[in-house]
Amino acid sequence: MDFFNFHTHYFTNQPDVLELVNQYPDKFDDSVPFYSIGIHPWYIEKSRLDSDLKIIEEKLSRENCLAIGECGLDKRIEVPLELQITVFEKQLALAEKFKKPVVIHCVAAFQEITAVKKKMKISVPMIIHGFSKNKQLAEQLIKEGFYLSFGKYLIKNPDLKSVFQDIPNDRFFLETDTMEEKISEVYDKALEYKNINMKELQSIISSNYQTVFKK
């Protein structure tokens, strides 16, 4: 692979890109080659919870299911935080059982995510997707063992430049999430900020991919 897209909602089937496509248990598409699957906090349905978790467990046993997620916590939605934490913990338990990394959605709940990680003694890699916060929080999360994935905010928010420059090379991924720009555009911005060439960046991402996904 020339490019690894850590998190996307669109399968584009480009021959030089390995895409980790986000899937939901109730809308699963079997034609996607590599995917993550999870219950997003926005879409928690109590009535469907058991069946969703059962589907996730079945998919996690497959070779082309690379991760669980996106899942996590979001303090800016109406779903009660207590319920979100319960659903998140159930998915983390599955991640541990199947030894799969976790794609994390986190809005205004970094403290709670970190507390759950510690409480459950999570050993699998946990990656915060779409990171857009400050240097202090980035350092704190890395110290707690998280990886950070950067996408649209890296392209659209110049304030992230200094944050990204200080991220250790063995702790980041790049993604497109829901934006229309190609992953190569995110790579271009990343290599500009890191002051390295494309070959070096591809080598860094490839190494991180092998570490996290055991490939």
The H-assigned helical ranges of 5-151 are: 49-60, 81-98, 110-120, 135-143
Domain coverage including residue 67: 3-213
**Annotated binding site: which residue ranges?**
70, 105, 129, 177
177: alpha, beta or left? (left if phi > 0; alpha if psi -120 to 50): left
Could you give the number of structural domains in the chain?
Answer: 1
Residue 167 sits in a domain of what CATH number? 3.20.20.140
Alpha-carbon torsion angle 104, 106, 111, 117, nearest 10? -20
Instruction: Encode the chain (215 residues) as per-residue pLDDT tens digits.
Output: 899 999 999 999 999 999 999 999 999 999 999 999 999 999 999 999 999 999 999 999 999 999 999 999 999 999 999 999 999 999 999 999 999 999 999 999 999 999 999 999 999 999 999 999 999 999 999 999 999 999 999 999 999 999 999 999 999 999 999 999 999 999 999 999 999 999 999 999 999 999 999 87
DSSP state of 43: G
**Annotated binding site for a divalent metal cation: which residue ranges?**
70, 105, 129, 177
Residues 200 and 207: their CA atoms lie apart, in Å, by 11
> In angstroms, what is the C-alpha Rg of the chain?
16
